[in-house]
Amino acid sequence: MPSIQVRPFRRSDRDQLTELVNAHAQAVVPGLGVSVAAVLNSLEREPSEHIIDPWVRERMTLVAEQQARVVAAAHLRLYYADERASESYRGLGEIRWLLFWPQAPASGNPYWKDGSEAAGMLIAACLRQLEQWGAVRQYADGSVPVRGVWGVPEQWPHVRALYERAGFEHTGDIGITYLARVQDLACPAGPPVTGLSVRRSVGINGTRLSAILDEHEIGYIELEIFDEGERLPRHGGWADVGNFHVTERYRRRGVATWLLGQAARWLRLAQVERLLDYSTLEPDEDTGRDDAGYRAFLATAGFLELSRTRRGWTRAGRTQP
């Protein structure tokens, strides 16, 4: 038997695969990871991906085993080539994520199994599988089943180098992940605008807190509390910001800070301790959206930048979705 074997995932790999996933995730978001059950469920489908997940036709998980240890793993998806998928995804083959243990430092454990060679064999097998599926385009990502982790974060230089060697190019944008302790978020004593009140309702991304002035909504924030229960480590509650908007006329008047304070009060009642948020580094040419002001707001509001992640990797000579 060769020292490295690339093969389909087996249920007996579940603990080692979860260790690999959580080690990569926790290099991006401190203390956040998922259980074995969450990882296994994600290999079958992603229920939280209400739009994209139904477009998936095929799924496959491959591992590279070296001396009885899983040192690399990848999850692949093929999308329908007809109207069951969005036009931009039709026939697309994707490496949803690929992870491997990096080389140990020179002064590290001499018995550590460097996964670089295994990862090279693994990505070659992934590309063969995409070809066998007849994928018309090839795409790569790093969206492991952990909140706040997608694309190829800057904390994964070994993954980025592997993708580049395999012919993938970064053709998308750069996203930024932020984290704040809820207790550090300011809670202004009163509204910044006379007559301003908060209204709570159901939003498309969790609970929606709206800033209401004269019965008009002038801003809102949506909070999604992570409700996976036992599938998440019990290190305190987590949530992220699903949507955050203030009408142009009322910006730079303290409304956003006041709304975030209302959100902090609500999260404290729910025993949520940490809040994630996201932005993009460069303006969106298609929509004209520019997050420069929002990034400045998050910095002053108490959010810490955790990671910059490169989203959108396509195989050379192919088209990004």
Whether residues 92 and 194 share a domain: the answer is: no
Q: Report whether pLDDT(56) > 90.
A: yes
pLDDT value at residue 284: 77
Q: Report whether pLDDT(319) > 50.
A: no
User: What's at 245, amino acid-wise?
Assistant: H
Say if residues 118 and 72 touch (Cβ distance below 8 Å): yes
Q: Report whether pLDDT(103) > 80.
A: no
CA 198 – CA 192 distance, rounded (Å): 12
DSSP character for 101? P
* Furthest CA-CA distance within the chain: 75
Question: In sequence order, which residues have a C-beta less than 8 Å from that of residue 191 and are 6 or more positions away?
Answer: 197, 258
Say if residues 79 and 136 touch (Cβ distance below 8 Å): no
Whether residues 186 and 126 share a domain: the answer is: no
Q: In this structure, are strands 174-181 and 272-280 parallel, antiparallel, or unpaired?
A: antiparallel
Whether residues 33 and 165 share a domain: the answer is: yes
pLDDT value at residue 321: 46
Calculate helix-pair angle for 116-133, 157-165, nearest 10 degrees: 50
Could you tell me the residue range of the domain that residue 95 belongs to?
A: 4-173+310-315
What's the pLDDT tens digit per position in 6-44? Answer: 999 999 999 999 999 999 999 999 988 899 999 999 999
CA 141 – CA 317 distance, rounded (Å): 17
What's the pLDDT tens digit per position in 223-253? Answer: 999 876 444 454 458 999 999 999 999 999 9
Whether residues 8 and 153 share a domain: the answer is: yes
DSSP H or E segment with residue 227 = none
CA 145 – CA 73 distance, rounded (Å): 14
Q: Is the four-CA dihedral 114, 115, 121, 124 of positive or negative sign?
A: negative
203 pLDDT band, cuts 50/70/90, is: very high
pLDDT value at residue 112: 64
Q: Report whether pLDDT(288) > 80.
A: no
Would you say the pTM of this structure is higher than 0.75? yes
In a domain, 20, yes or no: yes
Whether residues 277 and 195 share a domain: the answer is: yes
Distance of CA 239 to the CA centre of its chain: 13
Task: Summarize the confidence of residues 85-101 as an average pLDDT.
Answer: 96
CA 186 – CA 263 distance, rounded (Å): 10
Whether residues 239 and 302 share a domain: the answer is: yes
Whether residues 148 and 207 share a domain: the answer is: no
pLDDT value at residue 320: 46
Q: Report whether pLDDT(109) > 70.
A: no
CA 315 – CA 303 distance, rounded (Å): 35
In a domain, 144, yes or no: yes
Whether residues 19 and 124 share a domain: the answer is: yes
Q: Which of 112-126, 188-202, 241-255, 292-306 has the lowest mean pLDDT?
A: 112-126
Q: Report whether pLDDT(164) > 50.
A: yes
Strand-pairing partners, residue 56, are 79
CA 18 – CA 40 distance, rounded (Å): 9
Query: Residue 41 in 3-state DSSP?
Result: helix
Q: What percent of the chain has a predicted confidence (pLDDT) above 70?
A: 92
pLDDT value at residue 1: 42
Tokens of 245: 């908007």
DSSP H or E segment with residue 313 = strand 313-315
In a domain, 321, yes or no: no
User: What's at 292, amino acid-wise?
Assistant: A
CATH of the domain at 216: 3.40.630.30
Query: Residue 115 in 3-state DSSP?
Result: coil
Rounding to the nearest 10 degrees, give the CA dihedral for residues 71, 77, 78, 82: -170
Whether residues 17 and 90 share a domain: the answer is: yes
Split into its structural domains, the chain has a count of 2
